[in-house]
Structure 1
């Protein structure tokens, strides 16, 4: 089942043809799909060290190219700046072989996505994740501030999206209780904290695990300035109570920052449940589990 109404069909044969036509130096590398598919890109391995990422949703060619170029620039800025590896951009492909959009090649990172190797009870993983968040924050925004309509700016700007989510979730979740929770979360004060650099999407599908430790972070194209609490969504998406407490202590989060991290996790999770309920069970489960953790936490 397709995840998006305008979703493109991408096969390994299509990728094989694109590679052969546009990057003949990689003609001998085997191309194979992977089990863990993203929601934004179809991902294919190219040999042992490369990955092809092809946008899944139909869009204008130039808009897509600019987005991929911006994502590559973000990945280049982040590369080598944290204690765990992140993908590095390698090449940008063009439309062809029946595929209508630009596409990207980046380095492949070993490890198992957290959807398949749950690190939730690992204190060592919690420390690793805290160190990654701290490393990203330390890079420095150089005067840059959050822009756009996604997560990381004003919580109340998401009221319309929350109404959409509540409307689609009446048969899936305890919407009256969640509405009450959002009424409190949306008004949490930001304070005087300036924007810091953030990964911005620390969900299980973007986190690699090996032996209960953090092995790598994927999908780094959203790296940019945001509310300092934004990356705390990872505490709720990935950790159970004890390790979550360890992460908070290691980062030194005060109560306002911690609560806003809960708010951003709430915004993201409400959309995951209903949107992916049939098309991507793993993402739906992530949303449900995170909301359950938020509801089980001590009252605000």
Structure 2
């Protein structure tokens, strides 16, 4: 992860943030500001007790924020009115089985206000809700396993049919063949470091994924990146009673839900993955192809995470899955 500044990247400090607020949202400018925290794409600054500023660090991040601003209100409105029966997401697009109970509908952290480039800052920005808690990547595996069913229910609620004009992604929700060249490059870079048995196991997971029936159902809303560093445990100290809340919808798109499921599987141990799948599949007609593709996506994401720099929190997750 490029924790160092990119060429031309703005230096975001509290003085700059205060100036942006005073100019564009003066009624919020009196609220206390926390120290800026830099992520991959954005700098986050907590504003008072309930808000935060989301400030892109580069032009691509600005485009992702624009997607959240444009689409999260529409998604939130759709999720506030769930269908009469929960969606069954199957590779063949057939109708859900009767007799289900409705799955959980997740809260969507919709941007509250927006800002424009000013005062030495070149990008559009937003004021968003602050989700108080601990990023799931920083809690022990057994704590993550404890919320497997809750995360599965949240994704079942999110995975509803999207409108025709919903955004698409070249990297998520697509056929695995569309990312196979990237997978192959990453695989070739690490395969030699794996034991033969594990290398053969992972190669077989990928082979089954690309040979599984492709997705042919309706385009489904996807979070896009529901990994443990985009999941906040809302509670005290990351305890077992914490509830997972998905944040950072910059990769929001529509397509095959297998890519979301593959990312989500990286939260858990084998037992947690089984609990996650059991809850997600509750009341659904079995769809082995969906899970074959999901496990292929999990290996794909593990390769991406494992290649991150040593200070990146997701790196150990990727390496653990590959080991």
Task: Tell me the equivalent position of 1:298.
Answer: none
User: Per the alignment, in what secondary structure is the counterpart of residue 208 of structure 1?
Assistant: strand
Cα deviation, residue 131, structure 1: 0.9
Cα deviation, residue 53, structure 1: 1.0
In the alignment, structure 1 segments of 5+ residues that lack a partner are 293-300
- Per-residue CA deviations over 1:222-256 (Å, capped at 9, x if unaligned) read 33311022221244221112222122111215321
In the alignment, structure 2 segments of 5+ residues that lack a partner are 80-103
CA distance in 2, matches of 1:182, 1:6: 37
Alignment of 1:17-56 (within 5 A): 17-33=19-35, 37-56=38-57
CA distance in 1, matches of 2:8, 2:256: 31
| 2:133 is the alignment partner of 1:106 | no
Task: Tell me the equivalent position of 2:225.
Answer: 201
Alignment of 1:1-300 (within 5 A): 2-3=2-3, 5-6=6-7, 8=9, 9-33=11-35, 37-57=38-58, 59=59, 67-79=64-76, 81=79, 83-118=105-140, 120-121=142-143, 124-138=146-160, 140-143=161-164, 147-166=168-187, 168-169=189-190, 177=200, 181-209=205-233, 210=235, 211-212=239-240, 213-252=242-281, 254-274=287-307, 276-278=308-310, 280-292=311-323
CA distance in 2, matches of 1:66, 1:286: 28
CA distance in 1, matches of 2:221, 2:182: 24
CA distance in 1, matches of 2:290, 2:40: 28
RMSD over aligned Cα atoms: 2.9
- Per-residue CA deviations over 1:25-66 (Å, capped at 9, x if unaligned) read 11111111366x432211110111111111122x3xxx7665
- Shift in alpha-carbon separation, 1:79–1:33, aligned structure 2, 3 A: farther
TM-score by length of 1: 0.81
CA distance in 2, matches of 1:244, 1:181: 15
73-82 or 200-209: bigger deviation? 73-82
1:146–1:195 contact (8 Å) kept in structure 2: no
Work out which of the two has the higher radius of gyration on C-alpha atoms and give 1 or 2: 2
Aligned residues, how many?
A: 284
TM-score by length of 2: 0.76
